[in-house]
Structure formats: C-alpha cells, structure tokens
Amino acid sequence: MDEKRPTGRQLAAARALAGLSQATVAAVARISVPTLKRMEASEGPAVGMANNVEAVCRTLEAAGVEFIPENGGGVGVRLQKS
C-alpha cells in the first residue's frame, strides 16, 4: 500500500473535524456509504480503490481538513486556518 495513503482513522477523524456525515462525504465523493465505512474501519492505510480514497481525501480537503503525514509524532489531521 502507498505510504502516503491516509489511514482509516485519519479519514474518520477528518470527517468528524469537518462536521460531515458519512452520507454527505460519500455523496460528494461519489462512492457508497458502505465503501466509506470500510475505508474508515481500516487498520492502517485506508483500504479501497485508489481513486475512491483520493475522492474522499479531496472532499475532506475541500471542507478545510489537512492530512498530516508521519513526522515522528504519528499521523494526524487538523483544520486549516481560515
């Protein structure tokens, strides 16, 4: 798996930070809710087709979320400054 792929926990945390429901993220990313649920439940890198994971990331980034890569302190997410 791609080391740059976000983890399932990052996707779930990002969605929560953005205040979006699974249904909303799935609709904007043009994937099914069960597909998003599987991604978010992933241990380690988010499972799923690369284009679907990228669509979810783009949706969350458009909502103001920034994915933080491993930097010695672990991966994470944060809201961008306005």
SS3 state of residue 45: strand
Give pLDDT, residue 63.
97
Q: Does any domain span residue 73?
A: yes
Give pLDDT, residue 28.
98
Q: What is the count of structural domains for the chain?
A: 1
Residue 2: CB partners within 8 Å, gap ≥ 6?
45, 50
CATH number of the domain to which 48 belongs = 1.10.260.40
Q: Does any domain span residue 2?
A: no
Q: Model confidence over 59-82: pLDDT tens digits? A: 999 999 999 988 878 899 999 987
Mean pLDDT of the chain: 93
Q: Does any domain span residue 1?
A: no
Give pLDDT, residue 3.
52
Domain range for 52 is 8-79
What is the distance, to the nearest Å, from the Cα of residue 61 to the centroid of all Cα atoms in its chain? 9
Of the two residues 24 and 74, the one the predictor is more confident about is 24
